[in-house]
Each structure stands twice: as structure tokens, then as C-alpha cells.
């Protein structure tokens, strides 16, 4: 080849061609270098001034390092884009603020910068600024002393400027008063519950009524769509119990696990009665020894104003009283001991159980065995999944797959909720997440579709085929007549309870008191505690609370619950008083002031950016996070 090229160069035409080629390469290289020299590195422009991409890259890199150090791994593309956008926003904010500070003549003395940096605890050793630590921390955070000092100076200048602008921002008293009243307004209601169980069972109707009810409520008596499927599952969790592990491997793993397990600490389960005086404790001790019944001693302790306490599997350090702890761990289980003097009174106790604590050997061995089986199962699944994929690609029927692949097979009929035709859970092996994935795949497939290998949760795989689809069908009346009667009875009971609740509510809204209206129905009136907006209410259904805040005292509303109907009448409204709740009022004032200052600051920043005509080069910006 080389000899042929040399002979070709002896021709003057070829020499001319190669000369042109060399000249082309030379000028292409020079053009490329020239283009690179003149390339644009401005990611944005602020008031005609370029914002170099390096500043944004530095801020982005610091944010990226912090995200990576949080233990979540390398951020994905969307997260990196968000971090880059935050970095760009930070740099642009600093640029427009710096321009405004220069135009206003805001200056920062070096002494103020030095004082602020010296006061940062991260840069101190024994309370004194440490230059070496300062440099080291900045290097770890991809920053330089010059840049950090500039950031501190900009921060001080920004505080000076914003402090003057935002210092007078405060919420009006009228606004605070209205918000305080809205948040703290307390309402009290009286309620009456009308349970379904209190309603008499209606007399069973004729067959014609029940058949009409069956026809008018087809959704109640329609069988769901059913699918008949064959399923094979390759799962480490299902394969693990079938894995055999050598006893020597189990013993070795158990020895390592036992060595890594913290030493066992003795524990005690104990029943304790705390009494204020010696006389009462002596009487309780005698009664306990005579009766020996803990339930009786708990009741007796109340008569002596004593406290009955049970501690289960407690270490000595976990027992509140050191004197009691020492006595408990010195006592014989089953015997009543006391009185024992403690810091808070006299103790009478009985140790009900004593054990060494720590991990149980049998439980630890079982845990070690399961871990080894799982490791083998995961390795086998990783090896078998390719063979399973090849078999499925070759259209091998699921019931003819090789028997050495560690598969678990099941077939049957199920609905979209994972239940069989009789409403019981379908016996799909595996955890809930795997079952849900299989049911979802079964109802996404079409009858006759070839089996496809699907990744399941926890390292599992499955494949399935659907052989038949039974659409939703209205069940024959003769088949569900008992169910129809039950549904009709429930509806009638519900209707009767609703009529009583509506009658009660109407009477109250027409001027009758809830007590009088409830007395006519033989119902009891409850007075739950007051409630406020945005907080859970006790004794009042949660959905009723917003309605009660729209009513006037004396007005009523009703709501169906899981057990019946609740009728509530608004009894009174209590408005909060800032003079009586100064702490709550001060917290609201502080929160509103901060919110308004943040809004004013954002408005100022947006206005400066609009005035300075901030523009961003999206192509260069995208290069930061790609």
C-alpha cells in the first residue's frame, strides 16, 4: 500500500491534489481555532453586561456536590436541571442586586466583612478564627477565599439595601385582626346520632318488590369482569425456601452474626405499684401476697391513690428509679417484693419474667439460613432469567417451560381486585406488590396474547397468558335473591334513619331547640368540645365542620356516617381576643410580617430583572446540566 502511494506521488497531478488537501486541512484547523477563540461564554445578559457561564457552573457544582453527599446518589437529569436553574437564579439575583447597590452607592467596610467571617462557627477552632480551616472548608465546597469574601460582601450590602426597603413592611392591624379572628374563631355544636342499628328491621316485601329492586340497581348485583390466566413467577423470595444450604455454611455465618451481635443484656418484666407512704405500701404488699391477682391489685391501687405500672422486657437502666431497678434485678421471679424506698415514693413489685435478653439463638440461626437461601436464590434467578426469556421468545407454552428454572406456576380466574369469582383473594404467591403487578398485567393483556417476561418488584419476574375474558354480567335474580333482600333491607333502614335525621334538622331550623326535637324522637343530645378551622374536631364528623362555619347559632345540618346519621346544631361562636392570647397574636404578626417582606423582596427582585432586561441563552444554559 505504501509503495503504491509513493509511486502515485511521482505523478504531478497527484502531487497537486495532495498539496490542495494539505492547504485545506491547515486552513480548516486555523478556522476552527479562530472560532473557538471567539466562542460565546455568556449564559445571560443583565443590563447589557455578560454573565459568564463559569459563575453559574461554580454555583451549580456546589449544589450538585451537596446533592450527591446527601446519600441519594447521582441526581437524574430533571433534578440536575432544577439545580442548574437555581444556580442561575442565584447568580442573576446577585448581579442585579450588585448593580442596584452600585447605583445607590451602598458600600461595605472591610472590617464588617472580617467581623462576619470571623463569627462563622465552621471557621473557628476553640472559638477563634482558624485560617487553615477556612481555606480547607472552602476547597471542600469548590469555592475560593476571594469568591467567598465577595459573596459575604454582597450579602452585607444586600442586607443594608433590603433592610432600608423592607424595614417598614408590616401587616395592617385590620388585616391581622381579621386573620386572627378567622383562624382562632371557636365554634360549639350540639349533636344527635341516629344509628342504623337503632332502626327496626322492615317486614320482608313481596317477590315482585325485590325483583324490581334487583332490576333498578344492577350495579349491586353485577359480577365483575373475570379473566382466566396462567402465570409463572421467577422470584428470589419464592425460590429461597427451596434452596439447600450446607450446614457448615450456616454454622460459619451464624458465628459471624453472633460475634457482630451486641452482647446480651438481662431484661425483666415486672408489675409495679408506686405508693406515697409506707403504711399504704405495706397493706398493698400484704393484699398482693394473699390474692396474687394483678387486676385486683390495679383496682386496689386506685383506692390508695397509688399508680399501677407494668414494664415489659426492660433493662435495668430503663427502669426510672435506680433503687427500684436494683431491687427488681435482685428479686426472684414470681415473688411480691416491697416496700422498696425510692426517690418518688415506695415501690411494691413482682417480677413476672426474667431472661438474658439479646438475640435468640434459634431466631438468629433461622435469620442466617434465610439470608443464605436468599443469596443463592438471587444468583439462581439471575442465571435462569435469560433461559426463561429465550423459552418465551420461542413461543414455548407456559405449562411446557423447563422444570429446572425455579418457576412457581399458578392458574385460575380472578377479577381486577385480585379476587376469585366467589370474592375470596386469588391464591397468587408472593407479596402484595407482586400480586398487584400481576393483576394489573393480567387486565392489561388481551386473550390469546403471547406471554411476555415482565420485571416485577424485589428482583422478581413473571409472565402470563389470558385464555378467557368474562365481561361483567348481571347475576340472575334466583341466584342472588338473598343478597337482594339484604340490600333492600339495608336501604330501607338507611332511609328510615335519614327521615328521622331530616325531621330533626327541619325542626331545629324552624326554631325548635335541638333538645326538644331530640326528646320527641327519644334521642340523646351530645355536647362535644369546641373546634376551630383547619384542626381535627372531636365528636363532630370532619365533613360537617366546614358547613358549621357557615351557619348561624341555632341552625342545624346533617351528614351520613358509616354507622348512621349525625345532626348538629350550632350552639355558640366564641371570637378570639388578642389581649387574652398575646402569644398567638404575636406569632401571627411575625409570620405575616415575614410573608409580606418576602413578597416585597421578590417583587423588588422581579422589578429589577425586568428593568435590567435579563436574558438567558438557553443553549449555553443547557450545557451546564447535560
pLDDT tens per residue across span 26-59: 434 433 433 333 457 888 888 888 888 888 888 8
Give whole-number Cα distances, 344 to 187, 275, 285, 323, 398, in Å.
Answer: 42, 9, 18, 10, 72
Instruction: List residues bridging with 347 in a β-sheet.
Output: 274, 340
Query: What is the per-residue pLDDT for 287?
Result: 86
Helix (H) or strand (E) holding 413: strand 408-414
Order of strands, sheet of 615-616, starting from the edge strand that comes earlier in the sequence: 49-52, 42-46, 615-616
- Phi, psi at residue 324, to the nearest 5°? -65, -40
Query: What is the per-residue pLDDT for 307?
Result: 85
pLDDT digits (tens, 9 = 90+) for 187-208: 999 999 999 999 999 999 999 9
Query: What is the per-residue pLDDT for 68?
Result: 67
Helix (H) or strand (E) holding 539: none
Candidate CATH numbers 1.10.3470, 1.10.10, 3.10.50, 3.30.1330; the one for domain 186-196+481-574: 3.10.50
Query: What is the per-residue pLDDT for 36?
Result: 34
Can you say whether residue 48 is alpha, beta or left, with left for phi > 0 and alpha for psi between -120 and 50 degrees? Answer: left
pLDDT digits (tens, 9 = 90+) for 239-298: 999 989 899 988 888 888 777 666 667 888 999 998 877 778 888 888 888 877 888 888
SS3 513: coil
Burial of residue 371 (CB within 10 Å: 0-12, 13-18, 19+) is middle
Query: What is the per-residue pLDDT for 70?
Result: 58
Residue 360's CB: how many other CB atoms inside 10 A? 13
Cβ contacts of residue 431 below 8 Å, gap of 6+? Answer: 237, 457, 458
pLDDT band per the 50, 70, 90 thresholds, residue 7? very low
User: Which is more confidently placed, 18 or 365?
Assistant: 365
Give the separation between CA 279 and CA 31, rounded to whole angstroms: 105
Query: What is the per-residue pLDDT for 5?
Result: 42
Helix (H) or strand (E) holding 592: helix 582-611
HEC-encoded secondary structure of 450-508? CCCCEECHHHCEEEEEEEEEECCEECCHHHHHHHHHHHHHHHHHHHHHHHHHHHHHHHH
Helices (H), 68-187: 77-104, 110-118, 131-140, 145-166, 173-184
Give the separation between CA 463 and CA 317, rounded to whole angstroms: 55
Query: What is the per-residue pLDDT for 32?
Result: 40
Give whole-number Cα distances, 177 to 10, 180, 345, in Å.
Answer: 101, 5, 50
Cell readout for 567 is 345532626
Q: Mean of the per-residue pLDDT values for the chain?
A: 84
Percent of the chain exceeding pLDDT 70 equals 91
pLDDT digits (tens, 9 = 90+) for 63-96: 877 776 655 566 778 888 888 888 888 888 888 8
Q: Which fold has domain 265-358?
A: Chitinase A; domain 3 (3.10.50)
Asked if pLDDT for residue 25 goes beyond 50, the answer is: no
Query: What is the per-residue pLDDT for 75?
Result: 75
pLDDT digits (tens, 9 = 90+) for 391-403: 988 889 988 888 8
- Phi, psi at residue 86, to the nearest 5°? -65, -40
Length of the chain: 626
Mean pLDDT of 300-307: 82
Between the two ends of the chain, the Cα-to-Cα distance in Å is 44
Cell readout for 596 is 409580606
Instruction: List residues bridging with 363 in a β-sheet.
Output: none
Burial of residue 13 (CB within 10 Å: 0-12, 13-18, 19+) is exposed
Query: What is the per-residue pLDDT for 296?
Result: 84
Query: What is the per-residue pLDDT for 10?
Result: 53
Burial 237-253 (b: 16+ CB within 10 A, else e): bbbbeebebeeeebeeb
Q: Which fold has domain 43-167+615-625?
A: Triger factor/SurA peptide-binding fold (1.10.4030)
Alpha-carbon dihedral sign for residues 255, 256, 257, 261:
positive
**Are 186-196+481-574 and 265-358 equal in CATH topology?**
yes
pLDDT band per the 50, 70, 90 thresholds, residue 516? very high
Strands 222-223 and 408-414: unpaired
Give the separation between CA 176 and CA 280, rounded to whole angstroms: 57
Asked if pLDDT for residue 439 goes beyond 90, the answer is: yes
pLDDT band per the 50, 70, 90 thresholds, residue 6? very low
Is the pTM higher than 0.85? no
Give the separation between CA 483 and CA 490, rounded to whole angstroms: 11
Domain range summary for the chain, segments of one domain joined by +: 2-37, 43-167+615-625, 186-196+481-574, 225-246+364-471, 265-358
Query: What is the per-residue pLDDT for 261?
Result: 64
Give the separation between CA 450 and CA 465, rounded to whole angstroms: 6
Asked if pLDDT for residue 464 goes beyond 90, the answer is: yes
Q: Which of 556, 558, 576, 530 is nearest to 188 (CA)?
A: 530
User: Which is more confidently placed, 410 or 295?
Assistant: 410
Query: What is the per-residue pLDDT for 8?
Result: 42
CA dihedral 575, 577, 582, 585 (to 10 degrees): 50
User: Which is more confidently placed, 15 or 479?
Assistant: 479
pLDDT band per the 50, 70, 90 thresholds, residue 584? confident
Amino acid at each position: 500500500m505504501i509503495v503504491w502511494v509513493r509511486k502515485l506521488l511521482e505523478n504531478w497531478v497527484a502531487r497537486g491534489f495532495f498539496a490542495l488537501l494539505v492547504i485545506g486541512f491547515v486552513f480548516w484547523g486555523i478556522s476552527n481555532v479562530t472560532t473557538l477563540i471567539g466562542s460565546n461564554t455568556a449564559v445571560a445578559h443583565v443590563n447589557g453586561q455578560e454573565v459568564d457561564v463559569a459563575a453559574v457552573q461554580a454555583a451549580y457544582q456546589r449544589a450538585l456536590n451537596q446533592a450527591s453527599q446527601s446519600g441519594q446518589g447521582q441526581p437524574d437529569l430533571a433534578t440536575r436541571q432544577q439545580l442548574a436553574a437555581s444556580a442561575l437564579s442565584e447568580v442573576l439575583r446577585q448581579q442585579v442586586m450588585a448593580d442596584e447597590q452600585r447605583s445607590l452607592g451602598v458600600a461595605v467596610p472591610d472590617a464588617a466583612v472580617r467581623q462576619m467571617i470571623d463569627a462563622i462557627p465552621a471557621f473557628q477552632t476553640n472559638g477563634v478564627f482558624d485560617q487553615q480551616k477556612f481555606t480547607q472548608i472552602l476547597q471542600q465546597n469548590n469555592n475560593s477565599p476571594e469568591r467567598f469574601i465577595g459573596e459575604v460582601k454582597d450579602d452585607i450590602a444586600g442586607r443594608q439595601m433590603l433592610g432600608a426597603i423592607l424595614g417598614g413592611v408590616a401587616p395592617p392591624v385590620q388585616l391581622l385582626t381579621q386573620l386572627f379572628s378567622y383562624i382562632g374563631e371557636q365554634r360549639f355544636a350540639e349533636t344527635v346520632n341516629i344509628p342504623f342499628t337503632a332502626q327496626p328491621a322492615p317486614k320482608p316485601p313481596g317477590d315482585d318488590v325485590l325483583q324490581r329492586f334487583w332490576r333498578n340497581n344492577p350495579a349491586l348485583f353485577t359480577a365483575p369482569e373475570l379473566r382466566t390466566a396462567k402465570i409463572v413467577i421467577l422470584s428470589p423470595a419464592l425460590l429461597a425456601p427451596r434452596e439447600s444450604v450446607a450446614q457448615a455454611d450456616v454454622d460459619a455465618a451464624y458465628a459471624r452474626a453472633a460475634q457482630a451481635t451486641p452482647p446480651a443484656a438481662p431484661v425483666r418484666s415486672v408489675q409495679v405499684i408506686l405508693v406515697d407512704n409506707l403504711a399504704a405500701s405495706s397493706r398493698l404488699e400484704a393484699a398482693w401476697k394473699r390474692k396474687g391477682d394483678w387486676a385486683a391489685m390495679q383496682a386496689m391501687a386506685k383506692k390508695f391513690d397509688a399508680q399501677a405500672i407494668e414494664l415489659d422486657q426492660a433493662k435495668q437502666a430503663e427502669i426510672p428509679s435506680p433503687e427500684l431497678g436494683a431491687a427488681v434485678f435482685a428479686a426472684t421471679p414470681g415473688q411480691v417484693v416491697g416496700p422498696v424506698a425510692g426517690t418518688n415514693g415506695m415501690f411494691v413489685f413482682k417480677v413476672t419474667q426474667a431472661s438474658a435478653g439479646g438475640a435468640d439463638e434459634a431466631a438468629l440461626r433461622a435469620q442466617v439460613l434465610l439470608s443464605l437461601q436468599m443469596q443463592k436464590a438471587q444468583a439462581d434467578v439471575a442465571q435462569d432469567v435469560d433461559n426463561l426469556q429465550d423459552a418465551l421468545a420461542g413461543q414455548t407454552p407456559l405449562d411446557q417451560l423447563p422444570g429446572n428454572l425455579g418457576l412457581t406456576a399458578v392458574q385460575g380466574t380472578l377479577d381486577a381486585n385480585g379476587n376469585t369469582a366467589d370474592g375470596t383473594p386469588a391464591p397468587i404467591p408472593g407479596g402484595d406488590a407482586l400480586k398487584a403487578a400481576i393483576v394489573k398485567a393480567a387486565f392489561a393483556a388481551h386473550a390469546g396474547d403471547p406471554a411476555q417476561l415482565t420485571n416485577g418488584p424485589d428482583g422478581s419476574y413473571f409472565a402470563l397468558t389470558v385464555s378467557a375474558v368474562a365481561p361483567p354480567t348481571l347475576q340472575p335474580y334466583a341466584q342472588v335473591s338473598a343478597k337482594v333482600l339484604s340490600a333492600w333491607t339495608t336501604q330501607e333502614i338507611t332511609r328510615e334513619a335519614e327521615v328521622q335525621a331530616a325531621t330533626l334538622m327541619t325542626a331545629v331550623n324552624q326554631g325548635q331547640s335541638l333538645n326538644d326535637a331530640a326528646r320527641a324522637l327519644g334521642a340523646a343530645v351530645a355536647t362535644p368540645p369546641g373546634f376551630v378551622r383547619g384542626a381535627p374536631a372531636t365528636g363532630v364528623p370532619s365533613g360537617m365542620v366546614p358547613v358549621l362555619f357557615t351557619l348561624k347559632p341555632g341552625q342545624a345540618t346533617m351528614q351520613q356516617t358509616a354507622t348512621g346519621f349525625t345532626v348538629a346544631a350550632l350552639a355558640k361562636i366564641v371570637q378570639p381576643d388578642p389581649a387574652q392570647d398575646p402569644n398567638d397574636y404575636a406569632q401571627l404578626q411575625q409570620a405575616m410580617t415575614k410573608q409580606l417582606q418576602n413578597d416585597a423582596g421578590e417583587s423588588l427582585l422581579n422589578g429589577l430583572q425586568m428593568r435590567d432586561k435579563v436574558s438567558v441563552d438557553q443553549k449555553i444554559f443547557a450545557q451546564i446540566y447535560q
